[in-house]
Amino acid sequence: MGDGPSTARLFVAVDLDQAARRVVTGAAVQIAERLGAVDGIRVSWVRPRNLHLTVRFLGEVGRETRGRLQTSLARRWALAPFELALAPAGVFPVFGAPRVVWVGVRDCGGAFERLTPELDARLAAAGATVSDDAMHFTPHVTIGRVRRAPNRGRDIREAAAAVSVEPERWRVTDVTLYESRPTDGPPTYVAWAAGPLAAGTASA
């Protein structure tokens, strides 16, 4: 993959399968259509190919730390593959001016919660910093970022709540370290490492 830049904007994520990606994309389209009829709202919608479930956002990371993260996160994980399911849409923050529109994710059997301690241990060993916000993480797929919505928070919340999201389930088989590279438009995501979950019966 080459040496790359001196720093990189990194995050750790699990990917959606094609069926879950279609459901999330459909929900985003419905919300966008509802908000299209409301004046004064501007939302940057995430491209379907960029949809993912962020587990930890690491921010700007130096080259040496990135190399250690690649090695650490590429190793096989102790947890077996498991299932997640899509849940109703919403916004962050819950109160005040919305900044993010998302589709929720349900941890079908608690396996996702068991993944994060191992992940945080690997991040710490590689020298990556995990923010306090990560400890209060709520699984979700970001579908849009609100750029302008003066006094329109209620409209955005109502549009998200009005959309019915099919509870599509998908199987998580690996954990990926991504770099977010800025462009003139939406960012490009580059995978630096993908660690497979341990072989065995899927947790559910």
Helix (H) or strand (E) holding 73: helix 63-74
52 is catalytic: yes
Alpha-carbon distance of 192 to 5, in angstroms, equals 13
CA angle 132, 111, 14 (to 5 degrees): 70
Which of 179, 145, 162 has the alpha carbon at shortest distance from 66? 179
Say how many Å lie between the first and final Cα of the chain, rounded: 35
| 3-state percent breakdown (helix, strand, coil) of the chain, nearest 5 | 30, 35, 30
Instruction: Pick the catalytic residue from 66, 122, 140, 152.
Output: 140
Instruction: Pick the catalytic residue from 20, 27, 51, 52.
Output: 52
140 is catalytic: yes
Could you check whether the bond before residue 196 is cis, i.e. omega within 30 degrees of 0?
no
CA angle 51, 166, 161 (to 5 degrees): 85
Catalytic residues: 52, 140
